[in-house]
Amino acid sequence: MPRWESPEIGLLIKLGSAIVHADECLGPDGRVLDQQVFQELIKDAEVKAWLEQGTRMALLPVKRT
């Protein structure tokens, strides 16, 4: 089985940012700004590459369409 590389510190910071923004976004006064942050994170090349690797290895859920 291929080895899933440990994420770099920059990617871990982005993940932490996503969690904080998710908490804010899902709160009672969810903000549009938090949605914009998610859109930017989803487009981020480092995030996309990591998600693709995890999906190929069946370690992450497949996005429902």
Strand boundaries in 1-65, DSSP class E: none
pLDDT of residue 1: 61
Amino acid symbol at 22: A
pLDDT of residue 50: 87
Contact by Cβ (8 Å): 18, 57: no
pLDDT of residue 45: 93
HEC readout, 54-65: HHHCCCCCCCCC
Backbone angles phi, psi at 25, to 5 degrees: -65, -40
**Considering the entire predicted model, what is its pTM?**
0.69
